[in-house]
Homo-oligomer: A and B are copies of this chain.
Amino acid sequence: MKISKLVGKREKETPSGATLKSHILMLRAGYIKQVAQGIFSLLPPTQRVSLKVQNIIREEMNRVGGQEVLLPVVMPRELWEMSGRYSSIKNEMVRFKDRAVHDMVLGMTHEEAAVHLAMNNIKSHEQLPFMIYQIQTKFRDEPRSRGGLIRVREFTMKDGYSFHATQEDLDAYYTKVYEAYKRIYKRIGFKKFVVVEGDNGMMGGKVSHEYMAVTPAGEDSLVICENCGYSSNMEVASSIKSENDNTVKGEVTEVFTGNAHTIEEVCAFLETDQLHCAKAVCYEKETDGKLVVVFVRGDQEINEMKLQKIVQSELLPTEVEKFGLFAGNIGCLNLNVPEGSYVLFDKTLQKLENFVTGANKKDFHIKNVSMSRDLPNTEYVDVCLVKPGEKCVSCGHELSHTRGIEIGNIFQLGTRYTKAMGMKINMPDGSEKEPIMGCYGIGVGRAIASIVEEKADDKGIIWPMTIAPWHVHFCPIRIDDENVAAVSEELYKKMEKAGIEVLFDDRNVSAGVKLTDSELMGMPIRVVISPKTMANSQAEVTIRETDEKLFIPINDLISELKMMIEDEINEIEKSL
């Protein structure tokens, strides 16, 4: 490709409104153009990257027996009524009436369509397991699209759906896809990604995993153990908390604490520390307005995601007075709450002795409370956030906190959709059974933006060889020189003939412009020739990622480049 004809221009300035590195660089390098909020056109280099990423995904899905299909973007209401999601999904899903006044939706996911395709086409357990997948445009009316391709409304997604006769079969297949996903991200070029468990909690949640690109630009908080590899989304992370001095010191005693209501004020007033307090955090359930009181150690914070799962409801702030409680003086002894309220004790209280808590009486707290003595049969739950400095539950090593972008997820769906839609298969014993499903998603654009986040430097994008729009950015300097022009044209043709994908900067512009553009655009290898290098019959080859420079005889250039490209791709293949 000659850059003089490439559709897209390079910009020096940071575009207004863009804050994420990938968003800024992809705009500046002429890779994307915004059409509306969260809706982008992809310029030619990005589409080249996208096709390569799609091919990697396709190869890995085919390797685990996936069968590629194409499900519709526009679907009739009836299909979504069958699963109950027509009403349960709110306005992220686009709805419209077609010319025959039928209600239609734009697919934001395709569980219903996948079951619709499979049912009647698959009747016997012998045909299971199978997985169908597609790579296709989806539209999700995100309220908070942001950051270029990181969070958009329209996107290209690979979504796959597997069907199984038994849970064991799903488990085995799920593990295969789990590994296939790791191969995909490695092949795309991710060095920093982790897999975190999703909602696999105590409340009968289903098995799921999220693949996270680790980057400060991420929206998700992650907890990672660099020793044993434990990694978790903050929403569900656990840790070993610091312990405190846990000896019983004396009798329960009521003390006046007056206007001291916050944990800091109470500790200061009573000259104790937060490790020796049980504080109350209160909410109201969104579903039925019931009170939720959670007691945690004074230094801890509530993980509302965990709590919501326990009480099976969204949580709202509340005014405790309407439940007969005194804000700032709520305690775990002698607590009176309305029937149907939740009263929960976090695990951090499990061994707590000699602590302070509210007296459930205006302006008073009590001290010297002991869990084992005063509340002996308490059940504990895990509802705390993991805090800096805490230890890994697997190996005891100190945990790191970081951020991540979700670049994929896999999920055991169970029979939710096959039951709802009435898909049944014949089992060996003659009975009928709803197949058990797994589903598997990857957003192509988000993966592309995330790899830019991971690898880019101050000068621009750095593409991994496996997905780079072109392998080589060829910058002849002083192309107005007849000799340079002739050799450039010849080398360009030779590279193309040798199967080297090359972006040829054929413009008659300064070396500065060419080199700056090449750094911004991020091809893995840059080749420069100029009157000076040609005087030594050499080309200057620069590795974009390391800035390493090599001088290679022009006669060896093509074979050397081919080897460099193959070596880099082979290295990734070997690491799988």
Contact = CB atoms under 8 A, between A and B. Distances in A.
Interface of A: 1, 4-9, 30, 33, 35-37, 39-44, 46-48, 50-51, 65, 67-76, 79, 91-92, 94-96, 98-100, 102, 104, 106, 113, 116-118, 120-123, 126-127, 130, 132, 134, 136-137, 139, 141, 143, 153-154, 156
Contacts of A91: 99
Given A42-B69, A96-B96, A136-B137, 19 more contacts: A1-B67, A7-B67, A7-B69, A7-B122, A7-B127, A7-B130, A35-B75, A35-B79, A36-B72, A36-B74, A37-B100, A44-B68, A44-B69, A44-B132, A72-B154, A94-B96, A95-B96, A106-B106, A137-B137
Given A70-B50, A96-B95, A137-B137, A117 B33 contact: yes
Contact of A5 (B30, B65, B134): B65
A5 B130 contact: yes
B94 A7 contact: no
Nearest to A114: B41
Nearest to A70: B42
The copy count of this chain in the complex is: 2
A451 to B, nearest CB: 18
A61 to B, nearest CB: 12
B69 A43 contact: yes
Contacts of A121: 7-9, 30, 33, 43
A111 B270 CA distance: 73
Contacts of A69: 7, 41-44, 47
Contacts of A68: 44, 47-48, 51
A193 to B, nearest CB: 25
Top-10 shortest CB links A-B: A96-B96, A44-B67, A42-B70, A36-B76, A91-B99, A41-B117, A47-B68, A39-B72, A99-B141, A41-B71
Contact of A139 (B7, B74, B92, B136): B74
A7 B75 CA distance: 21
Contact of A47 (B70, B92, B100, B104): B70
B41 A72 contact: yes
A98 B94 contact: yes
A40 B70 CA distance: 9
B67 A117 contact: no
Given A121-B43, A130-B5, A154 B99 contact: no
Nearest to A48: B68
B72 A40 contact: yes
Contacts of A143: 99
22 contacts: A4-B126, A4-B127, A5-B65, A7-B127, A7-B132, A35-B75, A35-B113, A37-B102, A39-B76, A41-B70, A41-B113, A42-B69, A43-B69, A43-B117, A44-B68, A50-B70, A73-B73, A73-B139, A94-B98, A94-B104, A96-B96, A106-B106
A144 to B, nearest CB: 11
Contact of A120 (B9, B95, B106): B9
Nearest to A139: B74
A337 to B, nearest CB: 38
A175 B499 CA distance: 28
Contacts of A1: 67
Nearest to A116: B35
A65 to B, nearest CB: 7
A52 to B, nearest CB: 12
A111 to B, nearest CB: 13
